[in-house]
Structure 1
C-alpha cells in the first residue's frame, strides 16, 4: 500500500467508530429520539434499541435483558452471535467478499447443491439466489409469468397471504392495507378463500399459470393449510398445467421441525413435490440471503440468461453464512430439537387460562386469546423480559431461535399468565379512559 493511500485510509477513531462513539452511553429514549430524526417512519418507533445478543438472549441500551422468542421474525435460527457462524462470516469476508454475478464461488456452488439435496429435488433442478424473501418471491412471480401463454395468464394466491412488499410480491399479498397505497399492482393475480379445496378446484383451469401458497400462513397468526390441501393443490395444478409454488420464506430451513414445511405434517404425510419453493429468513442464520429452488428441468429452464438477475445475490459471504447455518442445524440435530421444544410450548400454551387456540409446527407457533389484548400483551411481555409479537388483535406469535431450550420455554410459560393479566388491565384502563381509543393497534 502506498504512503498516500495509507494516509488517506480512515483510522477507526476517524471512521465508523467516531459516529458510534457519539451514541455511546445513551439510553433507549435518547437513541429512539435520534432514530426518529434520521430514519424513515415506515416501521413506526421501535420498541427498544438492542445493543448485543448471545444465544436466545438480547440486551437493550438500558442494560435490560430479554429472552428473544421472535428470532428477528424467524430469522435467527441459531440465535445471536453464534460463534461458528461468526467465524465463518469473518473468515470468508477476509478472503473474498463480493464478486458480482459475472463470476461464481465455491460457497455458492456448495450451497446450491446442499439445498437441492435437502429438498430432495430431482435431476435438472436448480437454485437462484437473492437477498431476501420478497426478492425470492419476485423471482417466483417472474417464473409464473414465464409459464404463461396467450390464454394462460392468471396467478392464484390465497386470502390471508403475505409474500412481501415489492411490487410483484405485493400483488400476491392479500392484505388491502398493504396493497391499496401502491395500486395499480402487477395484474393477473386473484385471491381465493384460504384452505377451500373446492374453491381451488373451481379457480384453477388451463388459464392459470401458477398457484402460490404458504404451507403455513405466518402473518395472519400461524395458520397451517388444512390436511390434504397441498396434495389436492399438487393434483389440480398438474392437471391444469399450472405451477405449484410454495412460499417457504418463513417456514423453511428447520423452522417447522423439517427442512421445509412441505415435507412435514402440513403435507399430511403425502409425497408432495412442488414446482418451486422460495426461501430466506432463517437460511443465513441472520445474514441476508434468499433463494428460489426450482424442481425438474422443465421448470428450471423457464428463466433463461438475461431474464432475471441481482448484483448481490449469492455472494460468497451470504452463501458461506447459509452453508454454516445448514451445517449447524444438521450437526446439532436441531430439527428434532425444534419439534421437541415446539411440542412442549404448544402443550403448555393450551393449558394457559385465556388462551383459546394454539397452532403451528416446530418452533413457529401462533396462539389466540379470549380478549383483544394482543398488542398490550406484547408490551407487557417486553416489560417482563420477553420478545414476542402480535400479528392480530387476539393473536400472539412465537418464532424463537431453533436453539431455544426447554428451560427457557418454561420460563415464558410461567410468566405468561401475569403478562396476560397485565395486558387485560392495560386494555381495560384504556377503554375506561376513552371507549373510542384504539388500544389494540398492532405493533410494528
Structure 2
C-alpha cells in the first residue's frame, strides 16, 4: 500500500507520514488513514471558561459564555462525524491513549449536556448476544495506575508494542457501565493482575478503535518506532475484523493447506508454551534452593528450607499458619523445623525458646520422640563466606542442652549442592538426624 498518512492529535510522536495537529485546528480526521488521539489536552478547550459552582460541577451557561458552548458542540459534533466516516466508510484506525477522564464540563440546559476527554468518540450501539454497549457513554475510564500489565492476546500486532513499553505503566482501565464484558465486543489485548482491561481492540464498521495504555515517559521517537509499525500492520489487513456470515462459503484453492499449516503452527506454539512452563518450574526449583543464601524474607527462607529438606529425602509440610515452622518426615526420623532470619546480627535466644514451645506442643499431640531443628540465617546481605556468627552463644548452648539440631542455611545449601552433584541424600539425611547441637557440612 502507499505510505500511510497518520494524524497525531495532542500526541507527541515522531515518524514518517505523521502530521502533528491540535484538536480544534486539524484537517478533517476522515482524510487520514489513521488518527492517534491523546485526550489529555482536550479539557483545555473549556477549562479557563467554565465556572465551578456550589454543587462541585464545572459548568458553562449558554448566553453567558460568549458562544463557547455552541462552538464546543459544533466542534465535537464535527469531529465525531469525521471519526465515524473514518471507521465506517474509510476502514481506518483510531488509536486512543487511555487517560483518566479528569474534570469534565456540563453545558447548562434542558437537558444538560456533559463533555469530557472522550466526547469525540463515535456514537454507536453495539450488541453481542445478551450484552449491549453504547459508545461513548457506555464506556468508562477508571483512574488506576500500575505496571502489572499482562498480555491477553499474544498473536495480535499490538503485542510487541505492549511488551516493549509495558514497564512504563498505565494510568487508567476500561469498564462497561452496564457490566458487560468488554471481550464480548472486541479483543482484550492486555489486563492487569486483577483482570482490569488496559488495552482493547474494538471493531467499528470496517475500521477499528484501539485503546492503548498511556505509557507515560515514552519519548516521541520511541513511541513512533513502536506504534507506527503496529498501525501499519492493522492497515495492511484487507478484511474487516467482523466478517459477514456468508463469506465462509467462498473458499479458494490452497486455502485448506494454509489452514492446516496454521493449525500445525498453533500446536507447535502450544508445545513451546508448555516447554517454557516446564523450564520455568525447573528454574523455580533452583531459585528456591538459592534462597537459602538470600531469601525473600522469612517466608522465602521457610520455602527454601523445605525445598532443601525435600532434596535430602524428607517429606515436608507447613505446620499451622506461621510460615516459620514445618514438619519434615523420613523413614529415619521426624523433625519439627523452625527457620530464623536476622538481618543485622546473630539469631537470638528467642528463636530457640520459640522452637522449644513448638516442640512441646507437637509432642503433646502424640508425635513421640520427634526432634527439633533450628535453621538460622543472619546478615543475608553479605556473601555467605563473609558473614559473622549466625547465632548467639546462648542459642548454641540451649540447642545442645535440649538435644536440638542447630544449623545455618548456608551449611544446608552446601549439603544440597553435594546431593545435586551426585552425593547420597540418605547419608546426608542420617548425618543430620544424628547431630546433637550444631551441625556443619564438613565435605
Q: Could you say which structure has the larger radius of gyration?
A: 2
Category of TM-score, reference length = shorter chain: under 0.3
- Give the number of the structure whose residues are more often helix, by fraction: 1
Bigger share in strand? 2
- Comparing both chains, which one has the higher relative contact order based on Cα–Cα distances under 8 Å and sequence gaps of 6 or more? 1
TM-score (norm: length of structure 2):
0.20
